[in-house]
Amino acid sequence: MKKKLKRSGRLVDMTYFLLQHPHQLVSLNFFADRYASAKSSISEDLTIVKEIFENEKMGYLTTLPGASGGVRYEPAVPFEEGNELVEQLCERLEEPDRLLPGGYLYMMDILGNPGMMNDIGRLFAGMYRGQNIDAVMTIATKGIPFAYAIATYLDVPVSIVRRDHRVTEGSVVSINYVSGSSKRIQKMSLARRSIPEGADVLIVDDFMKGGGTARGMSDLLTEVDAHLVGIAVLVEAQHPERLIDEYISLVRIAEVNEKTREIKAQPGNYREHLAD
Amino acid sequence: MKKKLKRSGRLVDMTYFLLQHPHQLVSLNFFADRYASAKSSISEDLTIVKEIFENEKMGYLTTLPGASGGVRYEPAVPFEEGNELVEQLCERLEEPDRLLPGGYLYMMDILGNPGMMNDIGRLFAGMYRGQNIDAVMTIATKGIPFAYAIATYLDVPVSIVRRDHRVTEGSVVSINYVSGSSKRIQKMSLARRSIPEGADVLIVDDFMKGGGTARGMSDLLTEVDAHLVGIAVLVEAQHPERLIDEYISLVRIAEVNEKTREIKAQPGNYREHLAD
């Protein structure tokens, strides 16, 4: 670009640039060069951007001083907006025509909505922002949009575990696991090169019943010498016993009555992790 | 919010808001209310935002006059930046350790990178911006991130076709199709309620050889009385005959030599569709 812009123009472009580069450290020099402006002006611009971002709780703008310093945008969703999002999600999940045979819920309209997925992704990214995360891992197919939404706002890669083993993945590590709800033995596989050794990984699950799938993914991490940071769950169903302990869920399905077609959805355990 | 903000604050918040709501018509009244400002001030703000967006080719800001009017942000990628992105993609695709047995290419590191996927999604969204698109359709698994990236910037839902038929999808329509490259008969299924009748649909494919998969998805659309708008392809391989005609591809694999492990990648046919 390298073009002299007035403050108003710089603010628009800077906001755009920071939103496109979440969790990346951008140096003052970069902006000074981009707008052919003095670093002191850029500093003032960033103070304005920071104030708006933090007052309106659109996320955090961290400024690091010094020669190697700069600014980093960390996306988040304000407390109130997060709660509204979850309420909206609960309402939609209670729609009776969502009930499928076997007590399953049709969720593809929700998972298929990129706008909603991105809001949810930003919400989770904000909750995990203090922790070091190198990658997000999920299992095909329906968890993928949810995982990408979180990974976008954390700026980390996504690794996809598969129930089948497709030829295009290269060297693969597989484990058997017991599905917590059906008690059947199943198999899951991970492309070995998709998770580097020692990586800190966030596991993502769109619908958790017994937690067997999440537990299986966590075992896969051990297998490739990576570490579990946490488990992000979109919807958890009632279940007598869970195979995992630490997770953050947005919604909990409290009751499903297949006869009356009634579904009761309530907020999950996420509130403890949402900053006021 | 409803809080008096100065122009500088409004510009930051407005940019943020428009980026979060691509392809949505936002009324002047909404912003006037949000910032407790006169519509004339909002109008001036939007002129500044529009100038920066369009000068820096970050996308289009369309203003619709009148009582029901407002402003709509349509994401795009500038010509030069689009070409750089494709060059970068070609270079990465030529890395020799990408070659897998059978002439397949490992692409999960590229498809697993949300930042890169989003840039590619914005690029395609810009190329299809003039056309009415109600939904994006792809086939599980690897096409999903690519499809979501495009759908995010077009603000439309994603519909996922599956090779297996999972119980949680409800009523399903299935077809048999012939894979263009392997000539085998395969089956693909679509949840009937995921595409409304009469919808205009963009098909998305991460890797196209003979085009049989894209052709199958196109046949599925006919089956549910929906219309094909176009086919977006990330990488196309060389193939003697194609089962489809109209598509936009970013990259074409010109040559794969399994012996020397050489891969030659070049830009696809997308340039005709990229505005200068």
Architecture per CATH, domain A79-273, reads as: 3-Layer(aba) Sandwich (3.40)
* Rounded distance between C-alpha atoms, residue B196 and residue B214, angstroms: 19
CA-based nearest residue in chain A for residue B58? A16
Tell me the average pLDDT across B49-74: 89
Mean per-residue pLDDT of chain A: 92
Domain edges within chain B:
7-74, 79-273
- Whether residues A108 and B52 touch (CB distance < 8 A) is answered with no
Question: What separation in angstroms does the CA of B130 have from each of B137, B229, B275?
Answer: 18, 11, 11
Chain A positions touching B152 (Cβ under 8 A) are: 114-115, 118
Q: Which pLDDT score, from 0 to 100, does residue A80 have?
A: 92
Whether pLDDT at B167 is above 80: no
Do A7-75 and A79-273 show the same overall fold? no
Tell me the average pLDDT across B155-159: 97
DSSP secondary structure letter of residue B165: -
Tell me the average pLDDT across B160-187: 81
How sure is the predictor about B105, in pLDDT bands with cuts at 50, 70 and 90? confident
Whether pLDDT at A128 is above 80: yes
Question: What separation in angstroms does the CA of B175 have from each of B140, B163, B171, B212, B241?
Answer: 15, 10, 14, 12, 22
Interchain CB contacts (distance < 8 Å): A and B = 162
Whether pLDDT at B8 is above 60: yes
Chain A positions touching B21 (Cβ under 8 A) are: 115
Taking alpha carbons only, the member of A21, A17, A61, A79 closest to residue A267 is: A79
Whether pLDDT at B36 is above 90: yes
- Say how many C-beta atoms besides its own lie within 10 A of residue B26's C-beta: 17
Q: Which pLDDT score, from 0 to 100, does residue A57 have?
A: 84
Q: Which pLDDT score, from 0 to 100, does residue A275 have?
A: 66
Largest Cα–Cα distance in chain A? 69
Tell me the average pLDDT across B234-244: 88
Tell me the average pLDDT across A122-135: 96
Choice among A35-44, A46-55, A179-188, B225-234 with the minimum mean pLDDT: A179-188
- Tens-place pLDDT, residues A189-229: 999 989 999 999 999 999 998 899 999 999 999 999 999 99
- Tens-place pLDDT, residues A159-187: 999 987 665 677 899 999 987 667 788 89
Tell me the average pLDDT across A8-32: 96
Mean per-residue pLDDT of chain B: 92
Whether pLDDT at B99 is above 80: yes
- Say which of B12, B51, B100 has its CB closest to residue A11: B12
- Whether residues A141 and B157 touch (CB distance < 8 A) is answered with no
What CATH number does the domain located at A7-75 have? 1.10.10.10
Whether pLDDT at B236 is above 90: yes
**Mutating which of B35, B108, B116, B184 best tests the A interface, going by the most A Cβ atoms within 10 A?**
B108
CATH of B7-74, one of 3.40.50.720, 1.10.10.10, 1.10.150.110, 1.20.1050.140: 1.10.10.10
Chain A positions touching B84 (Cβ under 8 A) are: none
In sequence order, the 6+-apart residues with CB closer than 8 A to the CB of A181 are A209, A210, A212, A237, A239
Tell me the average pLDDT across B191-201: 94
- Tens-place pLDDT, residues A110-119: 999 999 999 9
Tell me the average pLDDT across B222-240: 94
Q: Which two tokens stand for residue B1?
A: 């919010």
Q: Which pLDDT score, from 0 to 100, does residue B86 have?
A: 98
Provide the terminal-to-terminal Cα distance of chain B, rounded to the nearest Å: 39
Name the minimum distance, in Å, from the CA of A105 to any CA of chain B. Answer: 7
Q: Are B177 and B216 in contact (CB under 8 A)?
A: yes
How sure is the predictor about B195, in pLDDT bands with cuts at 50, 70 and 90? very high
Choice among A200-204, A224-228, B3-7, B119-123 with the minimum mean pLDDT: B3-7
Q: Are B94 and B264 in contact (CB under 8 A)?
A: yes
- Tens-place pLDDT, residues B128-147: 999 999 999 999 999 999 99
Question: What separation in angstroms does the CA of A6 have from each of A20, A36, A41, A186, B46?
Answer: 21, 10, 10, 60, 15
Q: Are A251 and A235 in contact (CB under 8 A)?
A: yes
- Tens-place pLDDT, residues A218-243: 999 999 999 999 999 999 998 888 88
Q: Which pLDDT score, from 0 to 100, does residue B46 have?
A: 95
- Whether residues B9 and A48 touch (CB distance < 8 A) is answered with yes
Name the minimum distance, in Å, from the CA of A190 to any CA of chain B. Answer: 11
Q: Which two tokens stand for residue A48?
A: 């304005």
Q: Which pLDDT score, from 0 to 100, does residue B40 have?
A: 92
Whether pLDDT at B2 is above 60: no
**φ, ψ dihedrals at A121, nearest 5°:** -60, -40
Q: Are B53 and A12 in contact (CB under 8 A)?
A: yes
Tally of residues, chain B: 276
* Rounded distance between C-alpha atoms, residue B120 and residue B256, angstroms: 24
